[in-house]
C-alpha cells in the first residue's frame, strides 16, 4: 500500500484497497445486490460538496452559464448574474440545480485551470469514501440518527455543518444528492462484466428531504443527466 502523500487543503485522501459495495444486510433495493468487494486505487476526494462560491468562480472564468449546466431561474439556485458577473449571497451552501453536464463542465474547467486531473467519482469510489475506513452504513455510523447529518430538515445547510467521517469527508450523508460519473445499470452488481447502456446517471448520498433507508451509503438514485433539481449537487475527485 502506498504511503499517504502530504495533505492538501480541502481534499481527503482515500487509500487504495478493498471496499464493500452494495446492500449487505438485506434492507436495500434490488439494484444494490448482490453486495460485492471491489478493489480501488487511491484518490483524493473533495472534503465538501461543490459550493455556490466555487461554481460562481467557474462561471465567471468561462464568462457564461450554459442553460444545460444549471437553472439560474430556480429560486433554490443561489447563484445570480448581476452586472455581468456571477455571485452568490450564500457562498457556503452547496450549489444545486446542477445537471450532470454542469458537474462535468466544472470538472473539465478545474482540470484545465490546475493542470491536475479532476472528475466525478465513480459509484464504487463514492461509496468507499462515504463508508469510511469502518465501512459504515451511514457516514456517521450504522444506526440512523437524524441529528448527525442534514436529514429530514427540509433545507440545505452550509457545507461542513456536521462532523466528518473517518476519512475526513463531510456531508456524505444527506444535505444534497451528488452526481457520480457512472451511467445507471440496474443489474451492474450481478453482471459487472456486461454493463447495460442507459439513459440515466447515478446520484448518491441522499438529501435534506429524505430519511432512513434512502440515506444509506449503498442507496442508488437515478435521473436523466439533464435534470436540474433543487436537492442535487456534486463533489469532485482529484486523481493522484
Q: What is the pLDDT of residues 25-49, one digit of tens each?
A: 999 999 999 999 999 999 999 999 9
The stretch 142-170 carries a mean pLDDT of 97
The CATH number given to 1-240 is: 3.90.1580.10
The conformation of residue 199, written as its DSSP 8-state character, comes to S
Task: Tell me the domain boundaries of the chain.
Answer: 1-240
**Alpha-carbon distances, residue 17 vs 2, 66, 108 (angstroms):** 10, 39, 27
Query: Is the pTM higher than 0.95?
Result: yes
The stretch 166-173 carries a mean pLDDT of 98
CA dist., res. 156 & res. 208, Å (int): 6
| Per-residue model confidence (pLDDT) at position 193 | 87
Q: What are phi and psi of 29, to 5 degrees?
A: -85, 165
Report helix, strand or coil for 167: coil
Amino acid at each position: 500500500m502506498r504511503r499517504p502523500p502530504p495533505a492538501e487543503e480541502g481534499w481527503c485522501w482515500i487509500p487504495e484497497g478493498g471496499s464493500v459495495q452494495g446492500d449487505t444486510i438485506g434492507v436495500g433495493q434490488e439494484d444494490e445486490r448482490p453486495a460485492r468487494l471491489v478493489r480501488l486505487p487511491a484518490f483524493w476526494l473533495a472534503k465538501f460538496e461543490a459550493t455556490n462560491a466555487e461554481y460562481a468562480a467557474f462561471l465567471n472564468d468561462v464568462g457564461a452559464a450554459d442553460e444545460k449546466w444549471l437553472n439560474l431561474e430556480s429560486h433554490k439556485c443561489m447563484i445570480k448574474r448581476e452586472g455581468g458577473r456571477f455571485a452568490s449571497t450564500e457562498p457556503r451552501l452547496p450549489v444545486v440545480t446542477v445537471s450532470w453536464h454542469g458537474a462535468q463542465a466544472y470538472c473539465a474547467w478545474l482540470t484545465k485551470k490546475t493542470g491536475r486531473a479532476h472528475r466525478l467519482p465513480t459509484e464504487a469510489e463514492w461509496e468507499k469514501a462515504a463508508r469510511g475506513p469502518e465501512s459504515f452504513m451511514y457516514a456517521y455510523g450504522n444506526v440512523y440518527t437524524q441529528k448527525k447529518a442534514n436529514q429530514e430538515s427540509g433545507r440545505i445547510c452550509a457545507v461542513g455543518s456536521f462532523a466528518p467521517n473517518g476519512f475526513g469527508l463531510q456531508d456524505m450523508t444527506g444535505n444534497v444528492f451528488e452526481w457520480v460519473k457512472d451511467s445507471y445499470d440496474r443489474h451492474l452488481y450481478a453482471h459487472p462484466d456486461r454493463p447495460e447502456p442507459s439513459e440515466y446517471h447515478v446520484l448518491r448520498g441522499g438529501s435534506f428531504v429524505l430519511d432512513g433507508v434512502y440515506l444509506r451509503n449503498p442507496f442508488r438514485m437515478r435521473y436523466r443527466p439533464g435534470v436540474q433539481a433543487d436537492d442535487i449537487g456534486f463533489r469532485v475527485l482529484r486523481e493522484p
